[in-house]
Amino acid sequence: MRSAVQQVAQEFGKIDILVNNAGLLAFGPITDFPVNDFEKALSVNVRSVFTATQESVRHMPDGGRIITIGAVNSDRVPVQGASVYALTKGAVATFTKGLARDLGDRKITVNNIQPGPVDTEANPASGPFADTMLGFMAVKRYGHADEVAAMTAYLAGPEAGFITGASLLIDGGFAA
């Protein structure tokens, strides 16, 4: 991760915007949750955000943007077995608040987008959990990747320069 960020910074001279967009669904009862799976979830969902952010801000000019794609599950966990996933996404949401304070003097904004169910290959709108997920949403449909991308683009732009430390829901009312 560090070498990839350094390579980008070397090629372009700086890093203006970092979008942390990696995630691993960790699901299962806490009594039987394998420690190796817990470590893997922490590595992908938390450590990668930390590492990419730490290295990127070394190459980021004042006024840069850091945007992390978290999950609505840091606010709402409506089913059993999602506690480890919620823990990792809650860590990202809290890290966002701390980073906003740490980087505010440099006018670097730090925000966390928290999607609800989005129609992806890993979580299809026609998948085995779709009926359950739709039951939790006010808007009875899955989100689309382009909707999350549009929010990301907005937060990366100049119009969002006064938004920082926020966890923004894009969840069809999942957390309502």
From 85, 136, 142, 174, the catalytic residue: 85
Compute CA distances 119 → 74, 99, 172, whole Å.
19, 30, 12
Spatial CA neighbour of 48 closest among 11, 85, 19: 19
Helices 48-57 and 83-103 meet at what angle, rounded to 10?
A: 10
Spatial CA neighbour of 84 closest among 140, 22, 133, 30: 30
Is 85 an active-site residue? yes
Residue 103, burial from CB neighbour count under 10 angstroms (0-12, 13-18, 19+): buried
Q: Which residue has the tokens 């990696």?
A: 22
Q: Token pair of 165, please? A: 């430390």
Q: Which positions are catalytic? A: 85
